[in-house]
Amino acid sequence: MVPPTQTPAALGYRMPPEWEPHAATWLSWPRREGISFPDSFDRVLPALRAMVEALIESEQVCINVCNGAHEAEARAVLRELSMERITFYRIPTNEPWCRDHGPIFLTRDVDPHLAVVDWDYNAWGGKYPPCDLDEVVPTRVAQILGLPVFYPRMILEGGSIDVNGAGALLTTESCLLNKNRNPNLSRGEIEQRLRDYFGVREILWLGNGIAGDDTDGHIDDLARFVSEHTVVTVVEENGDDENHEALQGNLARLREMKTDRRKIDIVTLPMPKKIVREGLRLPASYANFYISNSCVLLPTFADPNDETALSVLQKVFPGRRVIGIDCRELIWGLGAFHCLTQQQPAI
């Protein structure tokens, strides 16, 4: 543990962007008895297998499991894959959303090169107790890897922020300023924690999230940095859709934003058509992609806009293969590939 007076920023740490080289991707394997995939656990396994198969082409995959039986279940799903780049760790979790409960890694140029920041976690504003196992995952990972840990003493999920690696951070008011997270912290105090613990200078605020998003508006369903000065953002062209107004509002904000006094370049992604299951609008979004060393994993929904999204991202990432994987079952858990993953930077 690092003394509380020494913040990561003061010590030269920063959170690198997702497109910088990874040593590994961390996952938390879902539990059959968990709440994320009611009555559909087996139907999400093909998407998980396809995700791991794509990731091991170019990096290690570290999978948190509860015990030997849980590991055996995961191995059975992955049995036809090469296991050379897959490692299991006995780190129990409540649910599989490693982006939000997992370790956020920081880097710097001097030893120790790598560190973990362990934000407090309350399962998206206390919506899905218990979360006691998820809450301690970052420190457990840091202990296994022998890394220093920083404790900001603020609730934050990894899916609620996105960085460009050059001093800018994107987030949303609807999530970070929600009173179900940090009711005793002001906007200014939250911004200062972000600067101190992510090594950023500029905090760029969007407004509201998409319909069906139980996270109160995570940025990884809305807009993502894909380079220092370029953001990919989703837009809803159908004026009658409930997402239209919020996404137009976010687009208008992005058009006014700058990083290092330079206007942000904006690339737009469509939204898939509305998906409703058992009366619930699901937060399907092409923005929930994950950037690995060699490919980009894009959630698809058997939708006419799947091909458009694939084409847009292939132009944005010419050096990576964009792989579309059907997420019609996975999105029933209210998340997709970015929500499931957490990158460990290469050093």
What pLDDT digit, counting tens, does each position of 36-92 carry? Answer: 998 999 999 999 999 999 999 999 999 999 999 999 999 999 999 999 999 999 999
What percentage of the chain carries pLDDT values higher than 70?
99
Separation between Cα atoms, residue 30 and residue 51, nearest integer Å:
14
pLDDT score at 46:
98
Query: How far is the CA of 96 from the CAs of 103, 110, 198, 339, in angstroms?
Result: 13, 33, 24, 9
In a domain, 119, yes or no: yes
In a domain, 15, yes or no: no
Query: How far is the CA of 269 from the CAs of 77, 235, 308, 318, in angstroms?
Result: 32, 6, 8, 16
Mean pLDDT for the chain? 97
Whether the per-residue pLDDT at 131 is higher than 70: the answer is yes
CATH number at residue 191: 3.75.10.10
* Domains contained in the chain, number: 1
pLDDT tens profile 12-34: 999 999 999 999 999 999 999 99
pLDDT score at 153:
97
Whether the per-residue pLDDT at 3 is higher than 80: the answer is no
In a domain, 9, yes or no: no
Closest CA to 86 of 56, 65, 54, 57: 56
In a domain, 14, yes or no: no
pLDDT score at 5:
65
Any catalytic annotation for residue 339? yes
Tell me what the mean pLDDT of segment 161-188 comes to. 98
pLDDT tens profile 95-114: 999 999 999 999 999 999 99
In a domain, 297, yes or no: yes
